[in-house]
Structure formats: structure tokens, C-alpha cells
């Protein structure tokens, strides 16, 4: 398989399910996002086992957000896992992002701007003065200035953030749904094709693919392949 821009969100706390999903989709996907749910259940050993057995690249989505020293220590504790991407919250501030980047020089420290489950009113509720797009732009610029090598943002912010960060920084967009899919808890979404056109290097897709496993793994395999084909 040539380079695939799809990252599958492996949102499960069941190890065998995670392996089955990866085995079913590896022809269309080569990066898998393992998040807090999986990490808290299986720890570093589980992440390492998935990476070793599948040969897949790992997006370790821990969304670290703490004082700089704690974040740096946390990144050092998982550095042996050699994830392709490791997330921190950009809102943790420049010093925290810089500490993260210095602690994981061989990892693409990935700064999460504004969660795609949040709307403008949600941000206002927690004290943000700017709307989602303006806030994401500010956070992306701050993150890159402090060493982040990739950015997570909504597809709706991708085009402006691309201008801000340039072409060397990789942009990853969750909040992606194929036409006709249930939006779930996402509020700012685009189709896969729209997100890539907007400037994303990678798109994170979860339930539109993983829910197909409830029908069959063959259906899941077909769903992943269809999304990849839609990007050509």
C-alpha cells in the first residue's frame, strides 16, 4: 500500500478487538490512533505489543496537559514506544510545548488546538475570548514556535492554519465523516475529501469505520477501502 492519509481511531479497551480492527484495515491504513482508554487499560506494554505484532505506526493520543516538568517526564516515560505522533494540548502553553518537544526529539509532538466536540459557545463557557477558528489559529502558531511538529485541528481551521504554519508542519484533522454518516459528538465536521482539500495531511476516522465491525470485519475492511478510494 502506498502512503495512506487515514488514521484509524482504535477507541476500545479490548485488546483482541483492537488487533482485529487493525488486521481488517491494514490494506488501507498504516497509522493507528491509540488513546487514553487503551493506554490506561494496557499501559506501555499494550502499546508496544500492538506496534510489534501489527507493524503499524502508532499515533499515541494522550493529550498531555500539565506543568512543563510533568509533561516532559511523561514523554520520556513513553519515548521507548517510538510513536509516530504523541499529542499534547496546545493550551498548556508555550513552555509546556517546548518541554515536550525537547523531551521527545525523535517524536512528532502533536499539539491539539481546539477539540472538534467544542463549539464557539462551548469555548465562551470556559472563558475563551475568541471563537474556535481564531483560538485554533493562535494555539497552532504558539505550538509551532515552541517545537511542535504537527497540529490537530478541525477541518474548518486547516486551511488558515496551513498558511500560518507552512508546509513543513503536518496537519491532522479529526471531525471527519463520510457523506451520510452520523455526526455523533462531533460539531465541526467535513467529509474526508473536503478535509484533505482544506490542507490536512492526515484525517482521523473512527466510528464510521469501526462501527462496521458490528456487521462484520469484511464490512469494516470495505468501509476503510471506500474512504481511501474517495480521496483519489
Residues serving a catalytic function are: 63
* 45: number of Cβ within 10 Å: 9
CA distance 102 to 75: 10
Amino acid at each position: 500500500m502506498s502512503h495512506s492519509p487515514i488514521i484509524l481511531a482504535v477507541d476500545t479497551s479490548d485488546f483482541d478487538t483492537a488487533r482485529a480492527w487493525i488486521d481488517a484495515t491494514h490494506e488501507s491504513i498504516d497509522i493507528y490512533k491509540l488513546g487514553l482508554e487503551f493506554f490506561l487499560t494496557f499501559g506501555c506494554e499494550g502499546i508496544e505489543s500492538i506496534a510489534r505484532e501489527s507493524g503499524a505506526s502508532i499515533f499515541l493520543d494522550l493529550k498531555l496537559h500539565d506543568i512543563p516538568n510533568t509533561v516532559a517526564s511523561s514523554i520520556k516515560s513513553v519515548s521507548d514506544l517510538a510513536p509516530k505522533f504523541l499529542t499534547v494540548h496546545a493550551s498548556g502553553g508555550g513552555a509546556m510545548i517546548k518541554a515536550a518537544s525537547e523531551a521527545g526529539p525523535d517524536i512528532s509532538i502533536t499539539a491539539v488546538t481546539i477539540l472538534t466536540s467544542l463549539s464557539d459557545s462551548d469555548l465562551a463557557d470556559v472563558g475563551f475570548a475568541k471563537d474556535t477558528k481564531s483560538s485554533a489559529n493562535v494555539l497552532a502558531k504558539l505550538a509551532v514556535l515552541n517545537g511542535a511538529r504537527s497540529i490537530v485541528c478541525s477541518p474548518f481551521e486547516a486551511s488558515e492554519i496551513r498558511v500560518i504554519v507552512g508546509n513543513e508542519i503536518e496537519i491532522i484533522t479529526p471531525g471527519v465523516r463520510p457523506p451520510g454518516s452520523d455526526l455523533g459528538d462531533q460539531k465541526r465536521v467535513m467529509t474526508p475529501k473536503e478535509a484533505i482539500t482544506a490542507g490536512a495531511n492526515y484525517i482521523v476516522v473512527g466510528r464510521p469505520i469501526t462501527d462496521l465491525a458490528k456487521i462484520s470485519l469484511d464490512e469494516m475492511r470495505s468501509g476503510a477501502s471506500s474512504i481511501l478510494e474517495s480521496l483519489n
